[in-house]
Amino acid sequence: MNENINQWLNIQVYNNSLLQWLLAIGVALLILFSALFIRYLFRGHIKRKLENQHSLFWNASLTALKKTRWLFLLIIAITFASYTLELPTRLDSTINHILVIAFIIQLGLWLTSILRVSMDGYRQQQLEKHPSSATTLSLLNFIGRLLIWCMVLLLALDNLGVNITALVAGLGVGGIAVALALQTILGDLFSSLSIVLDKPFVIGDFLIVDDLLGTVEYVGLKTTRLRSLSGEQLVFSNSDLLNSRIRNFGRMYERRVPFTIGVTYQTPLAKLKMIPQIIRDAIESQQNTRMDRSNFKAHGDFALLFESVYYVKVPDYNEYMDTQEAINLFIHQRFEEEGIEFAYPTQTLYLKNNPA
């Protein structure tokens, strides 16, 4: 009985005994189940980490671990098991090529999963602040995944012995031709990426572009749209918009307000000395204001001119107008109480009667 078993185990199959094949299968199964068990332990450990601390690193690690395919682990197990056998050189080389290609594909899966998790996390942060950035971030995600899989394909072909130099050169020439044909669209596309990443303005900002003005409503891949004060929509291509001089009132932290008041030339000197203090009292009596200066500036054509400057600490235009109105009413009331007259354009004609 034992002799029969020994004879059966010593049967030669591809230069290896049946016993060697059984040992190789056992090694492969041991490595496979060990790898699956280790993956299971790591998944549990990372999940516990995420319960205590939600971070992008652990989330990306868990996603990459989930993307680790059992087929990839099986190929690793078979490769290591093959080292226990005496295989033909060609078959051994084929197994090694399969392992390298499987690793390259698995690497692509890991990188794309990490990219997706990273972009999703960044998108969630940006959605509340800049909803329009979601479209551009999706495009960035697509471009990143496309580049990763192009690299995977080129590495796999190179491992198979394909000369990729001519292929890369052809793709480069074709890419240049496509870029020249689509340079306007690509220019707007990259301008869109610049707007999203550099953030010269965001949704809700009030912009003045040359002689046009409006509130940013939408930032797309090709165009940015503003809603003007009169109600119509203004559409700018992203390239033209970034090449223009933009005044962004949405980034204003405080508003500098200069204004001038003129009083009549008949105002007494004592009253003139009171005017800067009256203006200062008017400004400082308001909330959210900061006084800068008030001076007797010049002798005008028909008025004595006082120039004053103050700051409104909030950028809101309605707040500024309410503050300016209150200041004007305060000054007007005090001028009435002090008997100071505002100047307005007048002419005085002197008539001289010459005797005949």
- Higher pLDDT, residue 68 or 336: 336
144 with 39, same domain: the answer is: yes
- The parent domain of residue 229 ranges over 192-251
Q: Say whether pLDDT at 294 is over 90.
A: yes
- Higher pLDDT, residue 8 or 343: 343
Cα dihedral sign for 316, 318, 323, 327?
positive
> Of 251, 267, 290, which marks where a domain is finished?
251
Q: Which two tokens stand for residue 252?
A: 């204003």
Q: What pTM did the predictor assign?
A: 0.51
22 with 79, same domain: the answer is: yes
Read off the pLDDT band of 130 (50, 70, 90).
low
6 with 151, same domain: the answer is: yes
The SS3 call for residue 232 is coil
Contacts of 91 (CB under 8 A, 6+ apart): none
49 in any annotated domain: yes
DSSP string, 253-309: SSEEEEEEEEE-TTS-HHHHHHHHHHHHHHHHTSTTEEEEEEEEEEE-SSSEEEEEE
Q: Give the lowest-confidence range in 2-16, 241-255, 257-271, 335-349.
A: 2-16
Interatomic CA distance for residues 201 and 180, integer angstroms: 29
167 in any annotated domain: no
> Of 111, 143, 161, which marks where a domain is finished?
161
Q: Say whether pLDDT at 137 is over 70.
A: no
Quote the distance between the C-alpha of residue 333 and its chain's center: 51
Mean pLDDT of 279-303: 92
Q: Which two tokens stand for residue 156?
A: 């796999």
262 with 246, same domain: the answer is: no
Read off the pLDDT band of 99 (50, 70, 90).
confident
Q: Give the lowest-confidence range in 74-78, 89-93, 133-137, 276-280.
A: 133-137
305 in any annotated domain: yes
Mean pLDDT of 311-315: 90
Read off the pLDDT band of 135 (50, 70, 90).
low
Task: Tell me the per-residue pLDDT of 220-269, one tens digit each, with 9 for 90 and over.
Answer: 777 888 998 888 999 988 888 888 888 888 788 888 999 999 999 999 99
6 with 150, same domain: the answer is: yes
Interatomic CA distance for residues 33 and 287, integer angstroms: 72
Q: Of 71, 59, 65, whose CA–CA distance to 40 is shortest? A: 65
347 in any annotated domain: no
Q: Say whether pLDDT at 148 is over 70.
A: yes
Residue 294 burial (CB count, 10 A): 21
> Of 233, 251, 269, which marks where a domain is finished?
251
Q: What is the pLDDT at residue 200?
A: 81
Q: Say whether pLDDT at 39 is over 80.
A: yes
7 with 121, same domain: the answer is: yes
